Amino acid sequence: MTEPRFVVVGHVNRGKSSVVSTLAADASIDIDAMPGTTQRCHRYRMSVGEQVLLEFVDTPGFERPRQMLAWMRDHETHTAERAQVVWAFVDLHRAGDAFPQECELIPSILEGGTILYVVDVSRPPSIKEEAEMEILRWTGRPRMAILNRIGTRDHSGAWRVVLDQYFNLVRTFDAQRADFDERIKLLRALGEVNESARGPLDRAIGVLKTDRRDNLSESFTVIAHLVVEVLSLTKQKRLPVEAEPRPYREPLATKYFDRIRALESQAQDRLKELFGHGRLQIEQDQLAQVDDDLFNLSLWNHLGLTSTQLIATGTATGAAAGGVLDLAVGGTALGAAALVGAAVGGGASWYASRSLPKVKIRGIPLGGQLLQIGPMSNREFPWVLLDRCLLLLDFVSRQPHALRGHVQLGGSEARRLVSGFAPSLRNRFERVFRCLRKGASIEEVEWAKIELVELLQAWWEDREIDSA
């Protein structure tokens, strides 16, 4: 065995599999409210590419620890040989059916594992659990206890007093909430418990950090490409000169919006996959539809920029003017804000700029008509699209892998991320959006992608610094 092994043990149904899932960033592990979900030991290798970094073993819970400990005490020789007594217990009972769980989990520990003992602090310590801890002490292996909390009550004070007597280190770890940094902290703590694992753990932490940086970079590229592709998307239909164009409008618009949704969904799948959340069901309201009325659609009111910010961004020229306008209209009702916006915008109708693109008809040189929809003329749209992507990225890049089931993102309680952008950053984004709105050249499209990646990277780094 080259990579260090960490064996996660504890009583039945205390969150062992959840801890393994979050630590190993593996969403495929079975987690369930039913006790006895894990019946056999499962090894999970934490790897990046071909490189195996660490091994975690998920185990079944102890079922008859008091009887096991009683047998061990009856057969004790002297303190230095307690581990041999534990082995002798397994050897004797392996073939029988009195202690299947114990015989399954103990060998992984005795064969060189570091113990992570998981307790649920919403219940007080029990006699059974004291027996488990004593058995673990007899193995002589390095060990750490993890305080997990499944229910609402908190007995962590009582637990600490007990755990300090049996374990080299006690740490709190919420398997259902821990983010990347908390995961790293726990891995570092494991190096304190088992010094021989410190080198591999430090290497693993370094590889995980680089991997996360790479995944974030790729996410910014995915988002930048999506935004550019969606905003510059057009759909066209050629018709003979004598054809009546009206019946062709709606199908063309439907195709256009279907394509936008498909592009967004592909990008979202990629973001989920990059952070190992491919299986997570994440629901969001649908993006635009043919007949969306932007003023009535609730989705548009809580994502993207606020009306005030939207007016201030790019309608006025430059960041300074935007700042002044922000102050001038701050707190006024939407109508008043819109009027100010329209006035500052130099006559361009701000209301008109909020509608979704209409199908336009043009004559074409060799005869006939060309129906075209796009590029996206709506000024709010890129901000909503960007907000949706960032909400998802923020979510999948932070969520622990013990999380299961359905998640609703972007509901009415969703916090906007883009509205937290500094005005100067907002204006730089708006410059890119404006360029795409008017129909960008190939060179401009390339510039837009690079610029967006750079802006997203800068925003993320600033935020990380702020939250550190």
Ligand X SMILES: Nc1nc2c(ncn2[C@@H]2O[C@H](COP(=O)(O)OP(=O)(O)OP(=O)(O)O)[C@@H](O)[C@H]2O)c(=O)[nH]1
User: Residue 400 binds what, of ligand X, Mg ion, none (CB under 5 to 8 Å, by partner type)?
Assistant: none
- What is the Cα–Cα distance from 429 to 424, expressed in whole angstroms? 9
Q: Using CA atoms, how far apart are residues 222 and 449, in angstroms rounded to an integer?
A: 10
Near ligand X in 347-366, by CB under 6 A: none
CB 450 within 8 A of CB 227: no
CB of 60 to Mg ion, least distance (A): 7
Is the Cα dihedral 428, 433, 439, 445 positive or negative? Answer: positive
Cα Rg of the chain (Å, integer): 29
Between 282 and 452, whose beta carbon lies closer to ligand X? Answer: 282
Choose the stretch contacting ligand X; rule: CB under 6 A; options: 8-16, 138-146, 287-295, 431-439. 8-16
Close Cβ partners of 468 (under 8 Å, ≥ 6 residues apart): none
* Torsion over CA: 89, 95, 97, 102 (sign): positive
- Residue from the set 5, 7, 16, 144 that interacts with ligand X by CB under 6 A: 16
Q: Specify the residue, 38 or 108, whose C-beta has the smaller distance to Mg ion.
A: 38
Nearest Cα to 353, choosing from 291, 295, 440, 424? 295
Q: What angle do CA 151, 156, 157 make, to 5 degrees?
A: 145
DSSP letter string over 265-330? HHHHHHHHHHTT-TT-EEE------TT--TTT-HHHHHSS--HHHHHHTTTSSHHHHHHHHHHHHT
**Toward ligand X, which CB reaches closer, 18 or 284?**
18
139 binds Mg ion, rule: CB under 5 A: no
Nearer to Mg ion, 32 or 283 (CB): 32
Which span sits near ligand X by CB under 6 A: 148-156, 207-215, 380-388, 424-432? 148-156
User: Is the CB of residue 450 less than 8 Å from the CB of residue 206?
Assistant: no
Helix (H) or strand (E) holding 386: helix 381-398
Name residues contacting Mg ion, limited to 13-42 (CB under 5 A).
Answer: 16-17, 37-38
Of 11-19, 235-243, 352-360, 372-380, which part binds ligand X (CB under 6 A)?
11-19
32 binds, among Mg ion, ligand X, none (CB under 5 to 8 A by kind): ligand X
Residue 307 lies near Mg ion (rule: CB under 5 A) = no
Q: Which does 36 bind (CB under 5 to 8 A by kind): ligand X, Mg ion, none?
A: ligand X
461 lies in the binding site for ligand X (CB under 6 A): no
Among 23, 31, 338, 455, binds ligand X (CB under 6 A): 31
Q: Tell me the C-alpha distance between 263 and 260, whole Å.
A: 5
169-172 and 143-148 strand pairing: parallel
Member of 108, 114, 139, 176 binding ligand X (CB under 6 A): 176
Question: For residue 42, what are its two tokens?
Answer: 């499962």
35, 206, 278, 439: residue in contact with ligand X (rule CB under 6 A): 35
Nearest distance from C-beta of residue 115 to ligand X, angstroms: 15
Query: Which CB sits closer to ligand X, 175 or 417?
Result: 175
Cβ closest to ligand X, residue 33 vs residue 80: 33
Taking contact as CB under 6 A, which single stretch among the options 12-20, 83-91, 183-191, 350-358 is the one that binds ligand X? 12-20
Site string for Mg ion, 37-66 (x = CB under 5 A): xx----------------------------
User: Which CA distances in Å does 57 have to 3, 99, 149, 295, 359?
Assistant: 12, 19, 21, 54, 59
Q: Does 113 bind ligand X (CB under 6 A)?
A: no
Q: Angle 61-65-68 (CA atoms, 0-180°, nearest 5)? A: 130
Cβ proximity to ligand X: between 108 and 176 the closer is 176
* Cross-strand partners of 146: 118, 171
β-sheet bridge partners, residue 235: 373
DSSP state of 424: H
Nearest by Cα to 185 from 146, 138, 233 = 146
Q: Which is nearer to ligand X, 150 or 207 (CB)?
A: 150
Q: Which residues bind ligand X (CB under 6 A)?
A: 10, 12-18, 31-33, 35-38, 61, 148-150, 174-176
Q: Which residues bind Mg ion (CB under 5 A)?
A: 16-17, 37-38
